[in-house]
Amino acid sequence: MIEDIELKDKEFDLFQKFIFKEIGISLDNSKKILVKNRLSKQLTKYALNSYSDYYRLIQINSEEKTKMLNLITTNETYFFRENKHFTFIEEEFAPKYQNKKIRIWSAASSIGAEAYSIAMLLDDLELDYEIIASDINTEVIKKANIGLYPIKMMEKIPQRLKLKYCLKGKRAHEGWFLVDRCLIEKIKFEKRNLLEKQLDLGKFDIIFLRNVLIYFNMDMKEKILMNIIKNLKVGSFLILSLTEHLYDVEKYKLKKIHNSIFQKVE
């Protein structure tokens, strides 16, 4: 059976090097099972007998190469993940930006749950805002643009925001909910590679860079951070995941104001 085909160490090494070369992500050896499981269906699709055969396919088929990278970079996400960050926006950030146009970048937006969570909160606070949401994965960008999600992803959304912005599906869409169009119209979803400078995006008041740096080695982390910082206004905020750590903050012209929240100082 295809699903029983072994991903050999030499084959995994090929994919590790290829993925690093293409998008800068470093997959350590603990990710071997993840790679095997995510790519096994592609072996079935093309009736291939080994992961080496699939590796040769992505060398000559650009669409399949994109599909493979999409499969590898799809990550778990949900609405209002790490609620402390949304509390910071509501209680500390928003009161100082009542009469200003706010620009926020969700720099690894996946299927859009982070961007829509931010939009729900800012819209409910009646703030003037614009959100850029980016990801390197083209499939998740398509899903984010639609704004349709399984009903189980609604559970962490505050009740007042569920009632205001989440439309439960009926009949064919039973078990799903649609994000209100008023939010979708305020968010622009784009494909972006964080290893590249994004100066055309302009400056932001907050950049969310959560659950991203863990996939890169030290050199790539530094490159991404240096790129991202260029898009922050002085006095504005960079938000990482609560499980991530940033050392030598002075090197990036940041100061730590809360766990995982940093302010650009110059």
Enumerate the active-site residues: 38, 135
Using CA atoms, how far apart are residues 131 and 104, in angstroms rounded to an integer? 5
Residues in the chain: 266
Using CA atoms, how far apart are residues 1 and 81, in angstroms rounded to an integer? 38
| Cβ-contact 246, 262 below 8 angstroms | yes
Angle at 133 between CA 234 and CA 89, to 5 degrees: 55
Evaluate the CA torsion angle 6, 9, 14, 15 in order and state its sign. Answer: positive
Provide the strand spans (E) within 98-171: 101-106, 128-135, 148-150, 166-168
Pick from 8, 16, 15: which is nearest to 49 by CA?
8
Angle at 175 between CA 172 and CA 181, to 5 degrees: 80
Phi first, then psi, for residue 119 (nearest 5°) are -65, -40
